[in-house]
Amino acid sequence: DQQVKQNSPSLSVQEGRISILNCDYTNSMFDYFLWYKKYPAEGPTFLISISSIKDKNEDGRFTVFLNKSAKHLSLHIVPSQPGDSAVYFCAARNKDFGNEKLTFGTGTRLTIIP
């Protein structure tokens, strides 16, 4: 039972354009959603998060949107840069468990074309 789904395994975007990465979830008990970025042979690094009581959070070029009724969130990167090429994981935290458990999606590989 995959509670966090990233249905696009890969995405290619032209440099300077907007990259939109999507994530769907099924568990209504998730209270925070996080995006992580992962380069090859490195561990994931935290990018941005959003509380379930908000619908948008912005940090520089990165904006996360949350649509609770659709159980959908998206990460927008604008403008996209070559250094953004990486695998992006969506993760969700269950408020019943606090910090103990994050559920991760399977990731989307983003390639920025120069």
- Which chain residues interact with other proteins by CB under 8 A? 4, 9, 32, 34, 36, 41-46, 49, 51, 89, 93, 98-107
CA distance 90 to 64: 11
In this structure, the chain runs to a length of 114
Q: Tell me how far, at minimum, the Cβ of 105 lies from other proteins, in Å.
A: 5
5 versus 79: smaller Cβ distance to other proteins: 5
48 versus 79: smaller Cβ distance to other proteins: 48
90 versus 112: smaller Cβ distance to other proteins: 90
**What is the DSSP annotation of 51-89?**
ETT-SEEEETTEEEEEETTTTEEEEEESS--GGG-EEEE
CA distance 12 to 2: 25
Q: Tell me how far, at minimum, the Cβ of 17 lies from other proteins, in Å.
A: 26
Q: Tell me how far, at minimum, the Cβ of 16 lies from other proteins, in Å.
A: 29
Q: Tell me how far, at minimum, the Cβ of 114 lies from other proteins, in Å.
A: 26
How deeply is 78 buried, as exposed, middle or buried, from its count of CB atoms within 10 A (0-12, 13-18, 19+)? middle
